[in-house]
Chain A
Amino acid sequence: QVQLQESGPGLVKPSETLSLTCTVSRGSISPYYWSWIRQPPGKGLEWIGYIYSSGSTNYNPSLKTRVTISIDTSKKQFSLKLSSVTAADTAVYYCARSYSSSWCGDFNYWGQGTLVTVSS
């Protein structure tokens, strides 16, 4: 059973960069699509973007100018950086894996989520 675990600071100051890492255990990091998804408190889900195990990426246009997702297959980790954060970026951030190695979409493995609060 694949396990995902998010890690990173729970508090980020406005205008700074949010950085999170997702560690994959009990499964291979290749050849799959790995996504970041967030959920503001009490609200719905927003897909941030994916990285394929080869390193190719696709970002949500609403965040594209501020997002970078990277991968380190040797460590079985992938990471999210979101720059110039504001209070609107306060959310639970999830990492997730797609069901199939052929497309990104149906997420059958999720991390437990980590709350990131943007506040001075």
Chain B
Amino acid sequence: DIQMTQSPSTLSASVGDRVTITCRASQSISSWLAWYQQKPGKAPNLLIYKASSLESGVPSRFSGSGSGTEFTLTISSLQPDDFATYYCQQYNSYPITFGQGTRLEIK
């Protein structure tokens, strides 16, 4: 299985901050990476697919980059609605695997 490791596990930030979450794969996954946002009691919401493609309806302050084994999700200017948990997920090979999550909390 491909292991996905996110860092940090918890991130404290303020409204207006620029934040970056990193996701590393245990082997190359090309650009087959997705990012999700999950709020308590809700299903995950797709933000980014194929490492850098913005899902329709997702605000442009979200962006993704990377390929191979290292990827980043950047939020350019945090909004109050962005405080949530973020997961990366690889779909280069089966089984599909997720990172352990990064909790973004208000400083």
Chain A residues within 8 Å of B, Cβ to Cβ: 35, 44-47, 58-62, 94, 96, 99, 103-108, 110-113
Which residues of A sit under 8 angstroms from B87, Cβ to Cβ? Answer: 44-45
Majority secondary structure, A binding face: loop
Which residues of B sit under 8 angstroms from A59, Cβ to Cβ? Answer: 95
Chain B residues within 8 Å of A, Cβ to Cβ: 1, 32, 34, 36, 42-46, 49-50, 55, 87, 89, 91, 94-101
Which residues of B sit under 8 angstroms from A35, Cβ to Cβ? Answer: 96
B33, chain A: closest CB distance, angstroms: 9
Rounded to whole angstroms, the CA-CA distance of A47 and B87 in the bound complex is 13
With A45-B87, A113-B42 already in contact, 12 other A-B pairs whose C-beta atoms are closer than 8 Å: A44-B98, A44-B101, A46-B98, A47-B98, A61-B1, A105-B49, A105-B89, A105-B96, A106-B50, A107-B36, A108-B55, A112-B42
